[in-house]
A = this chain, B = another copy of it.
């Protein structure tokens, strides 16, 4: 960890990575990105970011790389922001850029996603984070930041470190609210209460938005059952969540405009779905602890069926 102007490499700089990278770069960090899909555009013009929080602006990374192997010296922080999909070896992906003192930072969705990285890099500090941000790609190199814009950060498996403090301070100065938390895995479970229920349910019926999923008292009772099962799994895994978490999530979701989950957006665009990271891993933890989860098991089977059936049909 350097004390001034840390070097940061963002691997998988999609919408979230670009937005957060931009916030860090504005505070003087040396931010490079690995970006495959929009490489040419971003290399030439940078990211054009529309954001009411950060203002509309262009973010020109220090270096734009097509591949991690192009990185020349190990960064102080390597931020991993790729989607978590079966068959993608995230440890192998970042290994070429990880130096002995590189702090690895996960800004990714899902449950139980840290252990693979922790085991692959036992000597490196690992930070995990949960982001709350509504941001999407609207074109090549174009990012639209629609809502929210904050995160919770902590050491994996627990604790707070000077590196975490430095990074959080940079984010905060860059207007991305960043709370530190001693038990980041618990925070991850808390986010999963929303994610593991709304995301896979949103691809039922060919995309349901949050308004459709909470329309009637019966719908809300059903979503609550799904959420309660996530809470039960979290508790069984040693991460009991506050009793009011479900009420709060239902209320805050009802207070938002109709929202399409990330999985619904991926489904509509024919992109791969993070079913395993978001729901499958939670279900496996539940099975290990023999938690009764009839709703999640059924939704999981349906989500896999939908993913496979649609994928096969598209070929």
- Chain A, residues 141-173, CB within 8 Å of chain B (1/0): the string is 000000000000000000000000000000000
A294 to chain B, nearest CB (A): 3
Task: Report which of B205, B294, B297 forms a contact with A306, defined as CB distance below 8 A.
Answer: B205
**Shortest Cβ distance from residue A230 to the other chain B in the assembled complex, whole angstroms:** 14
A305 touching B206, Cβ below 8 Å: no
> Which of B201, B267, B298, B312 sits near A212, CB closer than 8 Å?
B312
Least CB separation from A201: chain B residue = B302
Interchain CA distance A211-B309 in the complex, whole Å: 8
Interface centre among A222, A297, A309 (most CB of B within 10 A): A309
> Do A208 and B304 touch (CB < 8 A)?
no
Q: Quick one: which of B211, B219, B297, B309 contacts A205, CB cutoff 8 A?
A: B309
Closest chain-B Cβ to A97's Cβ sits at a distance in Å of 36
By a CB distance below 8 angstroms, the chain B residues around A294 are 294-295, 297-298
Give every chain B residue within 8 A of A219 (Cβ-Cβ): 301, 304-305, 308-309
Determine if A216 is an interface residue (Cβ-Cβ < 8 Å): yes
Interface residues in A202-259 by Cβ distance below 8 A to B read 203-209, 211-213, 215-216, 218-219, 222
A205 touches B305 (CB 8 A): yes
Cα A306 to Cα B299 with chains together (Å): 14
Complex alpha-carbon distance, A212 and B305, angstroms: 7
Query: How many angstroms between the C-alpha atoms of A16 and B215 in the bound complex?
Result: 34
Docked complex Cα distance between A248 and B209 (Å):
38
- How many interface residues does A have (CB within 8 Å)? 32
The A interface, classified by DSSP as helix, strand, loop or mixed, is helix
Answer whether A212 and B302 are a contact pair too, CB < 8 Å, given A204-B204, A294-B297, A297-B294.
Answer: no
Q: Which residues of B contact A212 (CB under 8 A)?
A: 305, 308-310, 312-313
Verify A205–B206 contact, CB threshold 8 A. Answer: yes
Q: How far is the CB of A312 from chain B (nearest CB, A)?
A: 6
| A205 close to B295 (CB less than 8 A) | no
- Complex CA distance for A215 and B314, rounded to whole angstroms: 14
- Chain B min CB distance to A70 (Å): 38
Give the most central of A205, A207, A295: most B CB within 10 Å: A205
Instruction: Report B-chain residues with C-beta under 8 Å of the C-beta of A302.
Output: 201, 204-205, 222, 299, 302
Which residues, 269 to 315 on A, are CB-close (under 8 Å) to B?
A: 294-295, 297-299, 301-302, 304-306, 308-310, 312-313
Top 6 nearest A-B pairs (CB, nearest first) are: A206-B206, A212-B309, A294-B294, A205-B306, A298-B298, A222-B301
Which positions in A face B, CB cutoff 8 Å? 201, 203-209, 211-213, 215-216, 218-219, 222, 267, 294-295, 297-299, 301-302, 304-306, 308-310, 312-313
Cβ contacts A to B, 9 pairs, < 8 Å: A204-B205, A204-B306, A205-B306, A209-B309, A215-B308, A215-B309, A218-B304, A218-B305, A222-B305
